[in-house]
Amino acid sequence: EAGVTQFPSHSVIEKGQTVTLRCDPISGHDNLYWYRRVMGKEIKFLLHFVKESKQDESGMPNNRFLAERTGGTYSTLKVQPAELEDSGVYFCASSQYSLAGSYNEQFFGPGTRLTVL
Amino acid sequence: QKEVEQNSGPLSVPEGAIASLNCTYSDRGSQSFFWYRQYSGKSPELIMFIYSNGDKEDGRFTAQLNKASQYVSLLIRDSQPSDSATYLCAVGGNDMRFGAGTRLTVKP
Q: pLDDT tens, B26-84?
A: 998 888 999 999 999 899 999 999 999 999 999 999 999 999 999 999 999 999 999 99
Chain A positions touching B98 (Cβ under 8 A) are: 35, 42-44
Convert the pLDDT of each residue in A25-41 to its tens digit.
999 999 999 999 998 88
Categorize the per-residue pLDDT at A70 as very low, low, confident or very high, splitting at 50, 70 and 90: confident
CB of B95 within 8 Å of a chain A CB? The answer is yes
A103 and B49 in contact by Cβ < 8 A? yes
CB atoms within 10 A of CB A12: 13
Cα separation of A19 and A95, whole Å?
25
How buried is residue B7: exposed, middle or buried, by Cβ count under 10 Å (0-12/13-18/19+)? middle
Categorize the per-residue pLDDT at A104 as very low, low, confident or very high, splitting at 50, 70 and 90: confident
DSSP-derived pairing of the beta strands B54-58 and A10-13? unpaired
- Find out whether B99 and B5 touch, Cβ atoms under 8 Å: yes
Categorise residue B28: left if φ over 0, alpha if ψ from -120 to 50, beta otherwise. alpha
Cα separation of B26 and B48, whole Å?
20
Could you say which residues from 45 to 84 on chain A have a Cβ atom under 8 Å away from some Cβ of chain B? 45, 48, 55-56, 58-59
Handedness of CA B4, B6, B8, B13 (dihedral sign): negative
Residues 6 or more apart in contact with residue B23 via CB below 8 angstroms: B4, B5, B6, B33, B71, B72, B73, B74, B89, B99
CB of A1 within 8 Å of a chain B CB? The answer is no
